[in-house]
Amino acid sequence: PRFYPMTYFHISIGCLLNEDCGGMGHGICVHNECVCNQGYFGIRCDYNEETTCEKLDVDSSTDKFRGSREFSIHYKILRDREDKMVQVYDHPVFVGMDHSQHLDLMVFTGIRWGLFDSGQGFKNLESPTLLEIADYFMERGKDFHAIELRNIEFITEPVRFNTPVDRVVPSNERWYSTRGEEIEDIEVVLPLDIVMLCEICDEIRNPCYNGNRCLPNGQCLCTNGAKGELCQIRPLGDGRCHQFFNTPTYDFDSGDCCKSTCISTEINTCGVRNEDGKLESVNVGFSDCVDPSSRCTESGCWWVNSSPIPLLSQRSDKGLKSLVKLSANGRILVLSEPSLDAVRVFDLVDSRWIQRGQLLEGDRDSGFGRMSVISSTPGSVFSRRFGKVPLELAVVHHYQGMPWVRTFRWLPNDMDWRVFSDINLCSYLNQNEREMCDVCTLDVGSDHDSVTVAVGLDNGKALIFRTDVTEIAIKPWVLVAVLDGHHVSLSGDSHRLATAMQYGNIIDLFRIVNSPAGVESTILIPIDHHVISSHYDYDLHNGAIIDYKGNASHIEKIQLSSDGTALALAAYGDEGDDFLLHYAVSIDRVSYDASRRIQLPQHSQSEKASGLTTIYFSDAASVVAVRHHLDATHDEVQVFEHKMQIGGLYTWAPLGQVFDSVTPDEDFSISHDGVSVVFGGQTNALVYELSDRCSHDEAHFRLSVSLDSYPANVTWSLQTVRQLGHLQIPRFTLRDCDYCYNNNDRFGRKSIVEEICVPKAEQNCLSLVFQAEHGFADGAGFAAFLDGTDLIKSEDGGTEPVVWSSSETLARECQVEVLECAENESLFVLALKLDRHEEETSWDIIDSNYKVLAHHENYSPDLSSTTVVHEVCIPKDECVAFTLHDKYGDGSCCDYGKGGYSIWLDGELYETGDGRFGSKLRSLIGEQCPIHSTCSGLSYVGEAQVIENDDDSLYYDDVCNVNPIMCPSGRSLLVVELTHDIFPEEVAWHVYDQQYNLLAEKTRYHFDDMSKTSIHQLCVPSDQCLAFVFEDSIGDGEHEGRGYILYLDGVEVVNRHESSVGRERDSFGLNCPPTSAVTIEINFDDFPQETGWSLIDSSNIPVIEVFPHTYTQDYDNMVYTFELPVGEVFTLIMLDDDGNGLCCAFGEGSYAVYMGNIIDHTKVLVAGNGEFASDRMHYFVNSEEGLTAINAPWQ
Whether residue 357 has pLDDT greater than 60: yes
pLDDT at 965: 62
Whether residue 643 has pLDDT greater than 60: yes
Q: What is the pLDDT of residues 257-300, one digit of tens each?
A: 776 567 767 677 666 655 544 444 334 446 666 765 444 555 56
Q: Which of 392-401, 455-464, 665-674 has the lowest mean pLDDT?
A: 665-674
Confidence bin at 546 (pLDDT 50/70/90): very low
Average pLDDT rounded to a whole number, residues 940-962? 34
pLDDT at 95: 92
Average pLDDT rounded to a whole number, residues 436-461? 89
Identity (one letter) of the amino acid at 12? S
pLDDT at 614: 62
Q: Which residue has the higher pLDDT, 1019 or 827?
A: 827
Mean pLDDT score across all residues of the chain: 76
Q: What is the pLDDT of residues 604-614, one digit of tens each?
A: 333 333 334 56
Whether residue 190 has pLDDT greater than 80: no
Query: Smallest Cα–Cα separation from 289: which of 579, 698, 610, 649?
Result: 698
DSSP-derived secondary structure for 599-645:
EEPP--HHHHHTT-EEEEE-GGGSEEEEEEEEETTEEEEEEEEEEE-
pLDDT at 75: 92
Q: What is the pLDDT of residues 620-631, one digit of tens each?
A: 557 788 887 777
- What is the number of H-type helices and E-type strands within the chain? 4, 90
Q: What is the pLDDT of residues 472-520, one digit of tens each?
A: 667 889 999 999 999 999 887 888 888 988 887 778 888 888 777 777 7
Average pLDDT rounded to a whole number, residues 353-363? 86
Q: Give the span between the Cα atoms of 1106 and 1097, in whole angstroms.
A: 15
Q: Give the span between the Cα atoms of 361 and 342, in whole angstroms.
A: 5
Q: What is the pLDDT of residues 767-776, one digit of tens each?
A: 888 888 777 7
pLDDT at 822: 92
Judge contact between 1094 and 1105, C-beta under 8 A: yes
Kind and range of the H or E run holding 119: helix 118-121
Q: Give the span between the Cα atoms of 881 and 1111, in whole angstroms.
A: 42
Q: What is the pLDDT of residues 1143-1157, one digit of tens each?
A: 887 888 899 888 887
Q: Give the span between the Cα atoms of 694 and 756, in whole angstroms.
A: 8
Q: Which of 373-377, 608-612, 810-814 has the lowest mean pLDDT?
A: 608-612
Whether residue 591 has pLDDT greater than 70: no
Average pLDDT rounded to a whole number, residues 643-660? 70
Whether residue 757 has pLDDT greater than 70: yes
pLDDT at 528: 61
Q: Give the span between the Cα atoms of 173 and 596, in whole angstroms.
A: 58
Which SS3 state, helix, strand or coil, does residue 461 take? strand
Whether residue 157 has pLDDT greater than 60: yes
Judge contact between 259 and 757, C-beta under 8 A: no
Q: What is the pLDDT of residues 55-77, one digit of tens each?
A: 899 988 788 898 888 899 999 99
DSSP 385: S
Whether residue 586 has pLDDT greater than 70: no
pLDDT at 605: 38
pLDDT at 578: 55
Task: List b or e across 269-307, with b for residues whose CB sees 16 or more CB atoms inside 10 angstroms.
Answer: bbbbbbeeeeeeeeeeebebbbbbbbebeebbbbbebbe
Judge contact between 92 and 85, C-beta under 8 A: yes
Kind and range of the H or E run holding 121: helix 118-121
Whether residue 1096 has pLDDT greater than 60: yes
DSSP 490: E
pLDDT at 645: 62
Q: What is the pLDDT of residues 1000-1018, one digit of tens each?
A: 888 777 665 677 777 787 8
Whether residue 760 has pLDDT greater than 70: yes
Q: Give the span between the Cα atoms of 740 and 745, in whole angstroms.
A: 12
Confidence bin at 1035 (pLDDT 50/70/90): low
Whether residue 183 has pLDDT greater than 60: no
Q: Which of 220-224, 467-471, 841-845 has the lowest mean pLDDT?
A: 467-471
Report helix, strand and coil shares of the chain as percent, to nearest 5.
5, 45, 50
pTM over 0.85: no
CA quadruple 926, 932, 937, 940: dihedral, nearest 10: -90
Q: What is the pLDDT of residues 160-180, one digit of tens each?
A: 666 555 678 888 787 888 865
If phi > 0 it is left, if psi is from -120 to 50 it is alpha, else beta; for residue 502 that is alpha
Q: What is the pLDDT of residues 674-696, one digit of tens each?
A: 778 899 887 788 888 776 556 56
Inter-CA distances, 1054 with 998, 1048, 1050, Å: 19, 9, 12
Confidence bin at 464 (pLDDT 50/70/90): very high
